[in-house]
Structure 1
Amino acid sequence: MAEGENIVVETAEKIFADLADAQEVNRDKQGQWKAPLWQALSEAGLPLAWVSEEHGGSGASLADGFGVLGAAGRFAIAVPLAETMLAGWLLAQAGIASPNGEMTVAPASPRDRVISNADGTLSGRARGVPFAKAAKHVAVIANGADGAVIALVDAAKLRIEGHLNLANDTSDTIVFDKVEPITAKPAPNGFDQTTLMLMGGVVRSLQIAGALESMLDISVRYAGERVAFEKPIAKFQAVQHNLARLAGESAAALAAATSAADTLASGTAPDDAVFLEAVSAKIRCAEAAEKGSAIAHQVHGAIGFTIEHILHRFTLRALAWRDDFGSESYWAVELGKRIAARGADELWPLVASR
């Protein structure tokens, strides 16, 4: 890990530890913890970490930002930090300056489309957009007659239908009814909606991997403290087996997510390699979220399902993040199509090159 990444991640972790402790957040039913946390993150320049200083950000590297996102996953942060970072990154691709405040991106699903009309307005529907209700602005990638367009939109001009995901975080539907953006510019050559989906998938993979690390830590600690039949349940072979399986799922998710993040951060891998890394990470991390959450709750028994226990903050978010920017089933099909198109002789060289 580079020295700069250490500083950035340590700063984020200190803020999370001070202002987003899972126990304190779980007891705060009014959500009063969110404003101080967002203010501290903003003062540290983390929401716009991927935006250059020229365009209003802090100019951190992709690797720095990925490290912050892994830390955010370990704390199960329920504010639009990842979404604002992703929005700033998207706007920066077209040289659009990022405004202050919470942002999100649209579409958040590869199956949805936003169209850039001939008059410059935007039309379409984007479902499952995280934190759209909380966002002041939305960064949009739209399909235009001459290629992809990246636009910044005032959230107040949009019709937003509120919905909740598994973790009770907002996951809303945005309706673009000939909305005029604040500004819109052509996307770089080769940059399209799939590019955004792949980047979003890596972001969610890192968050899932971070959440799984915390699930493992919480479960190991609980198993060592919980006594049954006059000894800690961690002494029972069945519990040890489950904890080993959870550790395996956590390690596999972390390896897949960090490999994809390193590939994107290097900026030198060919398109097929980026696709393989990003899609594989999303598929593997989504699978790990399902298996790991089940194991963690099994270790905890009934107490893990209660609203008073912090476990649900991690398991439900990991499960909810599976569907953002394409589910594992969607990407599994797309990966199969890409491999089939390359032909049998090209499969092993591609896999072995990673």
Structure 2
Amino acid sequence: MNELQTILSDSVNGLLGERVTKNLIQSAEDGVWPADLWNELEANGLTRVLAPEAQGGAGGTWSDAAIVLKAAGRHVAPLPLAEALLAHWLLAEAGIAAPEGVLTVMEGDFTLSGDRLSGTAPRVPWGRQAAHGVALTGGAVMLVPLDGATIAPDINVAREPRDMVTLNNVPVKSMPVAMQKDALRLYGALIRACQMAGALDYLTAQSVAYANERTQFGKPIGKFQAIQQQLAVLATQAAAAGIAADYACASLDKGDASFEVAVAKIRADDASSIATSIAHQVHGAIGFTYEHGLHFATRRLWSWRAEFGAGAEWAERLGRETISRGADALWPYVTAR
């Protein structure tokens, strides 16, 4: 871990570890925006890790950003930290100055006429709290003010805001960028894979701790071989997802990482299905009670699986790419990564 990564780790874990409690998450789910915590994150530059220093950012890499993204997942932060980090990076890549206020990202069906944007973006993360959205369409990054948009509130399984945003000739700033047409979905899948890896670390730590505390037949349930085996599977799944996410971020720092991002999202989705089941089995009924913190992570994992493309979608994409290259090219393509 380099010096910047150490600073980022201490900063984000210090802020989120101290402040993101069950009560705070309860407040966020009741529609109360934790503005004080958000302001602290912004003041510490955690939303601008990927932005150049000349634009007020940290000038970090995606490997640096992975530290923040995984911490956001580990502490189940009820904030659009991951979305803002991606939005700032897209704006920096396009040379558009980032405005003050909360940023989010938007996937949707848009039509750009001059500098006016129309269309609809479903399931926008934290749309109601955002001052601006960042979209990518027609080979251009667009900064979209949301004060002129129509926003219909909605939520995901974790009760995080996922709002319908409708635009009607909203003036935007746009700049062309050299990115593939589905770049927003690709990078969105990467931030979710990192968040999921962090949440899986949380599940592992909580499950091991609970198994060592909960007693049955006169000894901790963690002493029983069946529980130990399940915990070993859980830890393996979490580790695999974390390694895949880290490798995808490192690959993106070197250039194109479409293959690695797809693998990371597939691996995180698969791991989440297995790990959430094990974690709730180890905890028993207590893991489902609102007073316990486990379900705050598991419900987010279930929600994040479907966002920016489910694992099945990315697996199909890799399958089609493999078929198009031909059977003889498969092994060289995989081992060259």
Q: TM-score, normalised by structure 2?
A: 0.94
Aligned equivalent of 2:176: 186
Distance 1:79 1:26 in 2: 10
Distance 2:26 2:142 in 1: 39
Name stretches of at least 5 consecutive residues in structure 1 with no aligned partner: none
Give how far 1:18 is off: 2.1
Aligned equivalent of 2:316: 333
Aligned equivalent of 2:131: 136
Matched residue SS, 1:8:
helix
Give how far 1:139 is off: 0.8
Matched residue SS, 2:166:
strand
Report the AA paired with residue 140 of structure 1.
A
Give how far 1:48 is off: 1.8
Aligned equivalent of 1:291: 274
Distance 1:192 1:178 in 2: 25
- 8 Å contact kept, 2:136–2:183: no
Distance 1:27 1:319 in 2: 18
Aligned equivalent of 1:349: 332
Aligned equivalent of 1:176: 167
- 8 Å contact kept, 2:154–2:163: yes
Within-5 A mapping of 1:257-336:
257-265=245-253, 267-268=254-255, 271=256, 274-336=257-319
Report the AA paired with residue 38 of structure 1.
W
Report the AA paired with residue 111 of structure 2.
I
Report the AA paired with residue 25 of structure 1.
L
CA deviations 1:71-128 (Å, max 9, x no partner) are: 1111111101111111111111110011122111111xxxx432322x3322222222
Distance 1:57 1:4 in 2: 12
Distance 2:50 2:220 in 1: 46
Matched residue SS, 1:289:
helix
Confirm whether residue 164 of structure 1 aligns to residue 159 of structure 2: no
Aligned equivalent of 2:75: 75
- 8 Å contact kept, 1:286–1:328: yes
Question: Aligned pair in 2 of structure 1 residues 140, 33: CA closer, same or farther (>3 Å)?
Answer: closer
- 8 Å contact kept, 1:26–1:308: no
Distance 2:39 2:145 in 1: 21
Deviates more, 1:53-62 or 1:307-316: 53-62
Report the AA paired with residue 322 of structure 2.
I
Aligned equivalent of 2:118: 123
- 8 Å contact kept, 2:153–2:162: yes
Aligned-residue CA RMSD (Å): 1.7
- 8 Å contact kept, 2:128–2:153: yes
Give how far 1:32 is off: 6.2
Aligned equivalent of 1:113: 109
Report the AA paired with residue 44 of structure 1.
N
Matched residue SS, 1:193:
coil
Question: Aligned pair in 2 of structure 1 residues 282, 242: CA closer, same or farther (>3 Å)?
Answer: same
Give how far 1:24 is off: 4.5
Report the AA paired with residue 80 of structure 2.
P
Q: TM-score, normalised by structure 1?
A: 0.90
Matched residue SS, 2:135:
strand
Matched residue SS, 1:256:
helix
Report the AA paired with residue 24 of structure 2.
V
Aligned equivalent of 2:196: 208
- 8 Å contact kept, 1:84–1:104: yes
> Between the two proteins, what is the percent identity of the paired residues?
40
Report the AA paired with residue 77 of structure 2.
I
- 8 Å contact kept, 2:123–2:164: yes
Distance 2:280 2:156 in 1: 19
Give how far 1:329 is off: 1.4
Matched residue SS, 1:59:
coil
Question: Aligned pair in 2 of structure 1 residues 140, 32: CA closer, same or farther (>3 Å)?
Answer: closer
Give how far 1:33 is off: 7.9
Give how far 1:156 is off: 1.0
